[in-house]
Amino acid sequence: MDEIVLRSMAKWPDVPAVYGWLALDRRGEWRIKSGSGGFERIANAAMREFIGRNYAADAAGRWYFQNGPQRVYISLEYTPWIYRLEGTGDALVAHTGAVPREVDAAFLDDAGALLLHSELGVGAVLDRDLPAFVERFGDFAAILERVSLGEPMKLMLQGNSVPLAAIRAAEVPARFAFVPRPRPRPGEPDC
């Protein structure tokens, strides 16, 4: 986290958290609640980078942005991380700019999304990168069918053989211990 954020947390330790104002969509875009009640994309690059540098999860699996002394809990459209391809190779980059060192598992969900698990956590591959990503795996339709039947499969990712398994999208939050729509716990104040 940024040093200024850490100092403000120490100076004002009991600022109530905020819920329902910030979201992460399936394309890795930060969205903020608008006056009309919907969400709009945060266009300011410096703000997006600041959120990304101060993005973390609490012990309950609720993802948040530490905005100075205040936690702003984030509603996740799907996963806490969105991975995209960087350049022409296997280089992965998360929506925050973080670079995962090693992918240790891959999953295909029932909607056809590819999820990767790394030391950062689980994340969906950005939809626009999916065709380029899967073309190196050969006959993707055959792979999808084999995985859906429970056949063990492996993919080569970042120079490593990674197990590929099927998963239901509805099971992803529980399997990877995150809360898609954080809410205050009983007795926890919020703004």
- The confidence score (pLDDT) of residue 9 equals 59
How would residue 10 be classed by pLDDT, with cut points 50, 70 and 90? low
- For residue range 132-163, list pLDDT tens digits in order: 777 767 777 777 788 888 888 888 887 888 99
* Three-class DSSP category at 175: helix
Report, at the CATH architecture level, how domain 3-76 is classified. Answer: Roll (3.10)
Taking the domains of the chain in order of start, what are their residue ranges?
Answer: 3-76, 81-175
- The confidence score (pLDDT) of residue 105 equals 95
User: Phi and psi of 127, rounded to 5°?
Assistant: -55, -40
* Nearest in space to 133 (alpha carbons), one of 96, 171, 164: 164
Residues 6+ apart with CB under 8 A from 72: 17, 18, 21, 22, 64, 65, 66
- Whole-prediction pTM value? 0.88
- For residue range 75-133, list pLDDT tens digits in order: 999 999 999 988 766 689 999 999 999 999 999 998 889 999 999 999 999 999 888 77
